[in-house]
Amino acid sequence: MKLLITAGPTREHLDPVRFLSNRSSGKMGFAVAQAAVERGHTVTLVAGPVTLPTPEQVFRVDVVSALDMLAAVRRLLPYQHALVMCAAVADWRPKSQSDTKLKKTEVPIEVALEPNPDILKTMLPLKEDRIFVGFAAETGDPLAEAQRKLTSKGLDLIVANDVTRPDAGFEVDTNLVTFLTPSEPPRALPLQSKLDIGRAIVDWLEQRERAAPNIT
């Protein structure tokens, strides 16, 4: 299969040295990419600013902001069988961005923000028979929130995790996730490495592709 995977945070710059971002390390998305090439799939990885090495045989496209990531996904999606959105896309960006470093006297005490587009929702009209997978990193009720996002974003699979646990979520090498799909009961996976979770996601994609092959 040809897989488009996004990973890492996005950065929303206020000026060349200051930005809004989040704690995503990119490890989960890079692990899915690694697992997919291990199984012979063709992987394009759209990565926000992270410090991880590119897995061998992965074609990597680096981006900074949510708008950059959207542009890359829009450009690359037509050639893919599936989109796996692991990236922690920043939901807002500063309304204005300065090309030069703002002096401290110029930085507003209140920074005006505007919403970023939702990449999955923006791509939904181009989905056709492609498989869309999302992630839901939650601090509240992971399953309820993931269920809501599964439906509202038109996903085939959402991978839910509770990021308040020390052994799951941001920065660490392990994760504890539940798979939710529109048609099956939720499937909780045991605590395991992000690479093994990546392999489970690739298993799921392969089974899904066998059940309903697409021709992209």
CB of 105 to ligand CTP, least distance (A): 33
Q: Which of 98, 76, 110, 80 is nearest to 16 (CA)?
A: 98
* Catalytic annotation present for 161: no
Of the candidate spans 85-93, 166-174, 193-201, 206-214, the one that interacts with ligand CTP by CB under 6 A turns out to be 85-93
Q: Answer yes or no whether residue 163 interacts with ligand CTP by CB under 6 A.
A: no
Provide the sign of the torsion angle of the four alpha carbons 181, 121, 5, 77, taken in this order. positive
Site for ligand CTP in 56-75 (CB under 6 A): 66
Q: What whole-number distance in Å separates Cα of residue 155 and Cα of residue 124? A: 9
Our CB check for ligand CTP shows the closer of 16 and 182 to be 182
> Which segment (95-103, 114-122, 174-182, 198-206) binds ligand CTP by CB under 6 A?
114-122
**Sign of dihedral through CA atoms 48, 119, 44, 78?**
negative
Give backbone dihedrals phi and psi of 120, rounded to 5 degrees, phi first: -60, -45
Using CB under 6 A, which of 68, 118, 196, 209 touches ligand CTP? Answer: 118
Tell me which residue of 44, 41, 63, 74 sits closest to 199, measured CA to CA: 41
Among 32, 36, 82, 89, binds ligand CTP (CB under 6 A): 89
Stretch that binds ligand CTP, among 25-33, 53-61, 101-109, 132-140 (CB under 6 A): 132-140
Q: Is the Cβ of residue 57 or residue 178 nearer to ligand CTP in the bound state?
A: 178
Residue 101 or residue 121: which is nearer to ligand CTP going by CB?
Answer: 121
Report H helices in the chain.
Answer: 27-38, 66-76, 119-123, 142-152, 194-211
> What distance in Å separates the CA atoms of residue 54 and residue 154, rounded to the nearest whole number?
30
Position 209 contacts ligand CTP (CB under 6 A)? no
Task: Kindly state the DSSP code that residue 101 receives in the 8-state scheme.
Answer: P
204 near ligand CTP, judged by CB under 6 A = no
Residue 11 binds to ligand CTP (criterion: CB under 6 A): no
Closer CB to ligand CTP, 81 or 153, in the complex: 153
State which residue, 98 or 130, has the beta carbon closest to ligand CTP: 130
Binding site for ligand CTP (CB under 6 A): 66, 85, 87, 89, 91, 116, 118-120, 134-137, 149, 153
Catalytic center residues: 22
